[in-house]
Amino acid sequence: MEVQTCSKCGRLFNWVGIGPMLCPMCKDQEEDTFKKVKEYLWDNKGAAMAEVIEKCGATEKQIKQWLREQRIEFSKESGVTIDCERCGKPILSGKLCTECRKQMEAELKALSTGEELPVKKKIRDHDRMRFLKQ
């Protein structure tokens, strides 16, 4: 535990070391807003960013954060996207676009063909088996 200043209201609070720098009160408030946004998107498919901000009292920054964490997703029709962290291409949610994800996987695979510890190899074989089962 360390004492931190809440990034929203400026109150001092005991920060647990993970998550946003928000005091318990602001965190509760944020959870409330999140629930509202999620429900609103559920009921209003195709809702635009500005609409959600107005109706739910969320900020664009919060919404983009939730999109990045894949906690919410706007429909394709809404045109709301965030940038792929690798190539900057617009994506609906998460960190990477489909191509970058595929490329990352390929790179990881290439890396794992080098010399390995027996333990690592075992995990890889396990992964391969899981892959075959799919």
Name the site residues for Zn ion (rule: CB under 5 A): 6, 8-9, 11, 23, 26, 84, 86-87, 89, 97, 100
> If phi over 0 gives left and psi between -120 and 50 gives alpha, with beta otherwise, what is residue 88?
left
* CB 93 to Zn ion: min, Å: 13
* CB 30 to Zn ion: min, Å: 9
- In the block, residue with structure tokens 């690798």: 86
When the beta carbons of 18 and 132 are compared against Zn ion, the nearer one is: 18
Which element (helix H / strand E) includes 25?
Answer: helix 24-43
Maximal CA-CA distance, the chain:
56
Rounded-to-integer distance, Cα 4 and Cα 13, Å: 6
When the beta carbons of 101 and 124 are compared against Zn ion, the nearer one is: 101
When the beta carbons of 46 and 88 are compared against Zn ion, the nearer one is: 88
* CB 85 to Zn ion: min, Å: 8
